[in-house]
Amino acid sequence: MFDMPQSRQWSAFRDLSRKLGDVVYLQVFGQSIVVLGSPDAIFEYLDKQSANTSDRVQTPMIELNIKALFVYRSGSSLNFGFMPYGQWWRRHRRAFWQYFHRNAVGQYQQTQ
């Protein structure tokens, strides 16, 4: 850890990748770091594994508060910012985007 340079840390990660392989996992002071050292490793990890890695950290207290405040008849939260990633989240995100993307916000200027 103390061998990490104060600037240009990417070069130290590149050297680690060259020495240890295309995918290097480190845990430093409780922080997980994954070093991807080749285009193939990047594609494999970020694209093919996105279904496993796209979810958010689940926080029990936030989940309880959100469910207590915003509940559909089905029991699902209305706040898609805290929803787990999946089909339900994508539906909510698509509906939100429809009204709040860059070109759509102009229609709300009169009410501001």
76 shares its domain with 92: yes
2 shares its domain with 37: yes
Q: Is the pTM of this model over 0.85?
A: no
28 shares its domain with 49: yes
Residue 46 belongs to domain spanning: 1-53
> Which of 53, 69, 94 is the C-terminal boundary of a domain?
53
pLDDT tens for each residue of 83-99: 777 788 888 889 888 88
- How far apart are alpha carbons 60 and 48 in whole angstroms? 28
DSSP code at position 23: E
28 shares its domain with 72: no
Phi, psi of 25 (to 5 degrees): -110, 130
Percent of the chain at pLDDT > 70 equals 67
3 shares its domain with 45: yes
| CA distances to 7, 17, 33, 65, 84 from 78, in Å | 43, 42, 32, 12, 12
What total of structural domains would you count in the chain?
2
24 shares its domain with 73: no
Cα atoms in the Cβ-side hemisphere of radius 13 Å centred on 24: 16
- How far apart are alpha carbons 82 and 69 in whole angstroms? 13
Task: Give the pLDDT score at 72.
Answer: 45
64 shares its domain with 112: yes
80 shares its domain with 47: no
Beta-ladder partners of 33 = 26
The two structure tokens encoding residue 100: 């709040």
66 shares its domain with 37: no
Task: Give the pLDDT score at 73.
Answer: 43
Please answer whether residues 86 and 77 qualify as being in contact, where contact means their C-beta atoms are separated by less than 8 angstroms.
no
pLDDT tens for each residue of 40-75: 888 888 777 776 666 666 666 665 555 555 554 445
